[in-house]
Structure 1
Amino acid sequence: MPAASPSGPQGPRPWYATELGARFASAIVLGIVALLAAYRGGGLFALFWLLAGGAILYEWTTVARVRPTLPLQVAFGLALAGMTLVLVTDAPAAIGFGLFGLGCIAGAVVARDTRNRIWALAGFACAAVVTVVPPLVREHPELGITGLLWMFAVVWTTDVTAYFVGRKLGGPKLWPRVSPKKTWSGFAGGFLGGVGAGLLVAFVAQRLGWVPVASLPVVVLLSGIASLVSQAGDLAESALKRRFEVKDSSRLIPGHGGVMDRLDGFFAVALLVGAVLLGARIAAA
């Protein structure tokens, strides 16, 4: 007879086999890909963010259960692709705004009712921000790769330090009805980490002679605002998932869930930066 298998409690799994290990590995891989694409710039970088925006569009329409799902995804996806083409070919910005408007009109017509129309258009707007803003920053003459690295550094460091400080120190919950695990200690740690990371990017860029984002005192202020906005974006996505009673936006990224789960803070900062760029463009017109 075959020997009986040993019984009793098994030892703890190695760290790389845990959810934290999967989260760490996914973050490293995605970070490397994002940085390589940012270094290359141009069409490859724009394609990277088109894929990210398309993933957000898919996840949002799935989580919010907008109807009819597939026709809305196709209409919005074509609009995002057209907007990316405008960026790559340096076509007039008015064409990009026109495509966004056509996408909104198509979504409003195709959506089944007012409820579906509102949620569908909100998802399209979020996907458009993620698709368009990073390539705009990368090609901006006064921001360029420095501005993009600043965005990455603030968002990523805010997320990481908030996670680990919150787990280490614990304490009062930040907003338990929306996100039961987030704490005020994590919030403060994320804020300080984001400010420090943004300042470090600006300092290194200044030393290397790159185009600076701004003076260092201004960078401290902007990094603080961006860190707060990043954490607000994280909370907003948590509220969205709680509203529709889902744990993750999808299962596309091991350890993280979906692309929305990974880019919630970045979306919020991209929205802030995009609004600043649009305001500056209007003021200069």
Structure 2
Amino acid sequence: MSSAGRWADLMPRLISAIVMVLLGGWAVWRGGVVFDLLIAASCGGMIWELMRMVAPDRQGLALPLGVLSMGAVLAAALMAGNWAVCLLFVPAIVGAAALSARRAIYLGFALWALFAAYAFIWMRSALGLDWMIWLISVVVATDIAGYFAGKIFGGPKFWPRVSPKKTWSGTSAGWAAAAVVGAVFAAQASLGFGVIMLSVLVSMASQAGDVAESALKRKMGVKDSSGLIPGHGGLFDRFDGMLGAAAMVLMVLSLWGLPGGAT
């Protein structure tokens, strides 16, 4: 491959990354309806991608399920109480019922995306901007540390059959970086050691999300979840780690509450 060909996708990737950072950062900062709409729309896009991957012969279902998912996430965010969360099951169950094969795959990944999207909205509304910055920082630190440690140290592969590029050195470096982010956040917010442990759990969940999406694409025989983001692939490709992290936060905080006495 020529030098020009190797870097042919650099400009689309760079432009897409800048747009995602600016749009996402603005929405996170604003919160409220702006943030809710962005997260709900992103979830709808992921369900659209998921249906197209698991049932390429039923692509007519993809868009209606994406719209239904967006509406379910918004409705769950606006309504109060545990009954609101039940709405998140609707797009997953409807989509699974319409399939004749791969129902379990669709159901599992759809529920993951829907509940993770709800977790993002709940965190921004209930916990505020600082906790959202913490979550994003943990995931970004995990990715960056994992990438560079894997490149520098190499070593045994984490799961070569599913994700051949991931190494144990990169994986463990991601945990360490997440612990550092958690320690800084705990010190600034006068919180306890529990935040550091939660940060490491979130890092693990982020990595698990990446591996799960890689396994899905490998099983479906596709390179990217879609071509929605020029130079990057699809929404699932870019935000699988964030989905895993958000789902872990929702589960942990639902069971045990905020660590260190935070409010």
Of the candidates 158, 173, 176, which is equivalent to residue 142 of structure 2?
A: 158
Instruction: Report deviation, 1:61.
Output: 1.1
Tell me how far apart the structure 2 counterparts of residues 108 and 241 of structure 1 sit (CA, whole Å).
18
In structure 2, do the counterparts of structure 1 residues 105 and 22 end up closer, same or farther at CA, with 3 Å as the change threshold? Answer: closer
TM-score, normalised by the number of residues in structure 2: 0.85
Of the candidates 168, 184, 199, which is equivalent to residue 223 of structure 1?
A: 199
- Amino acid corresponding to residue 237 of structure 1 in structure 2: E
Structure 1 runs (4+) greater than 6 angstroms displaced: none
Q: Which residue of 1 aligns with 2:249?
A: 273
In structure 2, do the counterparts of structure 1 residues 31 and 145 end up closer, same or farther at CA, with 3 Å as the change threshold? Answer: same
Give 3-state SS (helix, strand or coil) of 1:161's partner. helix
- Amino acid corresponding to residue 112 of structure 1 in structure 2: L
1:61 and 2:37 matched: no
Instruction: Report deviation, 1:194.
Output: 2.0
Which has the greater radius of gyration? 1
Tell me how far apart the structure 1 counterparts of residues 217 and 69 of structure 2 sit (CA, whole Å).
26
1:162-202 residue CA offsets vs partner (Å, 9 max, x unmatched): 11221222222221111111112211222222222233334
Instruction: Report deviation, 1:13.
Output: 4.7
1:70 and 2:54 matched: no
Give 3-state SS (helix, strand or coil) of 1:174's partner. strand
- Amino acid corresponding to residue 61 of structure 2 in structure 1: P
In structure 2, do the counterparts of structure 1 residues 60 and 39 end up closer, same or farther at CA, with 3 Å as the change threshold? Answer: same
Where do 5+ consecutive residues of structure 2 fail to align? Answer: 258-263
Q: Which moved more, 1:253-262 or 1:227-236?
A: 253-262
Instruction: Report deviation, 1:237.
Output: 1.1
Instruction: Report deviation, 1:19.
Output: 5.1
Tell me how far apart the structure 2 counterparts of residues 55 and 151 of structure 1 sit (CA, whole Å).
22
Percent of aligned pairs with the same residue?
35
Q: Which residue of 2 aligns with 1:146?
A: 130
Instruction: Report deviation, 1:221.
Output: 1.2
Q: Which residue of 2 aligns with 1:3?
A: none
Contact 2:49 2:62 in 1 (8 A): no
1:49-79 residue CA offsets vs partner (Å, 9 max, x unmatched): 0121012111111122266343354145324
Tell me how far apart the structure 1 counterparts of residues 12 and 176 of structure 2 sit (CA, whole Å).
26
In structure 2, do the counterparts of structure 1 residues 233 and 67 end up closer, same or farther at CA, with 3 Å as the change threshold? Answer: same
- Amino acid corresponding to residue 261 of structure 1 in structure 2: D
Contact 1:172 1:184 in 2 (8 A): yes
Q: Which residue of 2 aligns with 1:6?
A: none
Tell me how far apart the structure 1 counterparts of residues 90 and 156 of structure 2 sit (CA, whole Å).
46
Contact 2:48 2:62 in 1 (8 A): no
Tell me how far apart the structure 2 counterparts of residues 203 and 275 of structure 1 sit (CA, whole Å).
24
In structure 2, do the counterparts of structure 1 residues 224 and 46 end up closer, same or farther at CA, with 3 Å as the change threshold? Answer: same
In structure 2, do the counterparts of structure 1 residues 192 and 14 end up closer, same or farther at CA, with 3 Å as the change threshold? Answer: farther
Give 3-state SS (helix, strand or coil) of 2:207's partner. helix
1:112 and 2:99 matched: yes
Where do 5+ consecutive residues of structure 1 fail to align? Answer: 1-8, 207-211
Q: Which residue of 2 aligns with 1:49?
A: 39
Q: Which moved more, 1:63-72 or 1:179-188?
A: 63-72
Tell me how far apart the structure 1 counterparts of residues 122 and 23 of structure 2 sit (CA, whole Å).
18
- Amino acid corresponding to residue 81 of structure 2 in structure 1: A
Instruction: Report deviation, 1:31.
Output: 2.8
Give 3-state SS (helix, strand or coil) of 1:68's partner. helix
Instruction: Report deviation, 1:103.
Output: 3.2
Aligned Cα root-mean-square deviation (Å) = 2.8
In structure 2, do the counterparts of structure 1 residues 280 and 194 end up closer, same or farther at CA, with 3 Å as the change threshold? Answer: closer
- Amino acid corresponding to residue 135 of structure 1 in structure 2: I
Tell me how far apart the structure 1 counterparts of residues 157 and 72 of structure 2 sit (CA, whole Å).
43
Give 3-state SS (helix, strand or coil) of 2:164's partner. strand
Instruction: Report deviation, 1:20.
Output: 6.3
Q: Which residue of 1 aligns with 2:260?
A: none
Q: Which residue of 2 aligns with 1:5?
A: none
Q: Which moved more, 1:231-240 or 1:272-281?
A: 272-281
